[in-house]
Amino acid sequence: MGRYVVRRLLQMIPVFIGATLLIFLMVNVMGDPVAGLCGDRECDPATAAQLRKEFGLDKPVWQQYLTYMGNVFTGDFGTAFNGQPVTELMGTAFPVTIRLTIIAILFEIVVGIVLGVVTGLRRGRPVDTGVLLLTLVVISVPTFVTGLLLQLLLGVKWGWIDPAVSSEAPFDELIVPGLVLASVSLAYVTRLTRTSIAENRRSDYVRTAIAKGLPRHRVITRHLLRNSLIPVITFIGTDIGALMGGAIVTERIFNIHGVGYQLYQGILRQNTQTVVGFVTVLVLVFLVANLVVDLLYAVLDPRIRYA
């Protein structure tokens, strides 16, 4: 187990370097960011040159990358164009997004899995058909439509929530945005669980468990669910990263000053330091989440052991 973890951690290094290099190059290909700093006019050449020097943009790209990586290892993620250190931006953005992600994941786990189990056990019944249809609707409607609709109904028409989240973004204000963010994944989790449960219900070990005379809830939770969750856990694990980085639409609709918003602004302003910094952290989150998922397999399925 320990050796497996070490091997996986070592594998992260090339993935990490490759991912950051790609992002770095992509942002650079977009062109000269300094030109956008002076409004609808040309920066005077002297100031532009000075700014380029300050942000290290006057050097060749490979050198910029090396300097950047060198700084990253000392904890310096550079400075955004408005003079704010990127670490400070991260310090305000990540807690908000993490809260949002936790809510979204909770929705996926609680609602998604419960619906999945219920429909999986009652396959073909009206409940099953109803939920299936509902998930189909949720999957086919784009997130921004769901978001704007809920915002308009709950926030403006009925006044149950504030349409915009305040800058502190506490948990209770993030419930509706979290639901919107989770909606599509939630539908997938439901469908995955349902299929998995329905399939395993007829397997030998479940029949054995029932034959032994175990109570129904014990059969379901200990035997059936535990084995059926492997694909679901895989999905949720990779979804953590996707939710954190992919919340751009939801964050803009609900005025959440999180990672998605900072990335969006970084891309618009072509701010390499912000974009690469945030993406680097997201890459790390992805890698760690994947590792945790793989380790969870062993817990869930006794047949899987890492040597």
Partner 1 sequence: MRGATHARRAACAAAVALAATACGGGGGDGGSGDSGAVLSSSWGDPQNPLEPANTNEVQGGKVLDMIFRNLKKYDPKTGEAKDMLAEKIETSDSRTFDITVKDGWTFSNGEKVTAQSFVDAWNYGASLKNNQRNAYFFAYIDGYDKVHPEDGGDQSADTLSGLKVTGERTFTVKLNQTFSSFPDTLGYNAFAPLPKAFFDDHDAWLQKPVGNGPYQVDNYTRGNQMSLRTWDQYPGDDKAQNGGVDLKVYTDNNTAYTDLIAGNLDLVDDVPAAQLKNVKNDIGDRYINTPAGIIQTLAFPFYDDDWNKSGSEKVRKGLSMAIDRKQITDTIFQQTRTPATDWTSPVLGEDGGYKAGLCGDACDYNPEEAKKLVKDGGGLPGGQVKITYNADTGSHKQWVDAVCNSINNALDNDRACVGNPVGTFADFRSQITDRKMSGPFRAGWQMDYPLIQNFLQPLYYTNASSNDGKWSNQEFDDLVDKANGQTDTAEAVKTFQQAEEVVRDNMAAIPLWYQNGSAGYSDRLSNVELNPFSVPVYNEIKVS
CB atoms within 10 A of CB 107: 20
| 233 CA to centre of own chain | 14
Least Å distance, CB 127 to partner 1, is 33
The verdict on 172 binding partner 1 (CB under 8 A) reads no
The 3-state DSSP class for residue 158 equals coil
Q: At closest approach, how far in Å is the CB of 46 from partner 1? A: 4
Q: What angle do CA 226, 232, 237 make, to 5 degrees?
A: 115
**76 counts as binding partner 1 under rule CB under 8 A:** no
Is residue 268 a contact point for partner 1 (CB under 8 A)? yes
| 45 burial via Cβ count (<10 Å: 0-12, 13-18, 19+) | exposed
Phi-psi region of 130 (alpha: psi -120 to 50; beta: other; left: phi over 0): alpha
Considering only residues 192 through 251, tell me which ones interact with partner 1, judged by CB under 8 A.
251
Could you tell me how many residues of this chain bind partner 1 (CB under 8 A)? 54
* Stretch of 67-75, 109-117, 226-234, 256-264 lying at the interface with partner 1 (CB under 8 A): 256-264
162 interacts with partner 1 by CB under 8 A: yes
Phi, psi of 285 (to 5 degrees): -60, -45
Q: Does 304 bind partner 1 (CB under 8 A)?
A: no
Instruction: Provide the 8-state DSSP code for 102.
Output: H
Could you say whether residue 296 binds partner 1 (CB under 8 A)? Answer: no
Q: Crossing angle for the helix pair 226-245 and 175-200, nearest 10 degrees?
A: 150
54 binds partner 1 (CB under 8 A): yes
Among 1, 11, 44, 137, the residue binding partner 1 under the rule CB under 8 A is 44
Backbone angles phi, psi at 85, to 5 degrees: -65, 140
Task: Confirm or reject binding of residue 68 to partner 1 (CB under 8 A).
Answer: no
Out of 7, 88, 137, 305, the only residue in the binding site for partner 1 (CB under 8 A) is 88
Q: Which is nearer to partner 1, 119 or 151 (CB)?
A: 151
**Residue 128 interacts with partner 1 (CB under 8 A): yes or no:** no
Which of residues 45 and 124 has its CB atom nearest to partner 1 in the complex? 45
- Closest residue by Cα to residue 120 from 220, 40, 211, 198: 198
CB of 104 to partner 1, least distance (A): 18
With respect to partner 1, which residue has the nearer C-beta, 58 or 294?
Answer: 58
The answer to whether residues 216 and 143 touch, using CB atoms and an 8 Å cutoff, is no
Q: Give the residue from 226, 245, 237 showing the smallest Cα distance to 283.
A: 245
Q: Given the rule CB under 8 A, which residues bind partner 1?
A: 30-47, 49-51, 54, 81-84, 88-89, 92, 151-152, 155-156, 159-164, 167, 251-257, 261, 264-265, 267-270
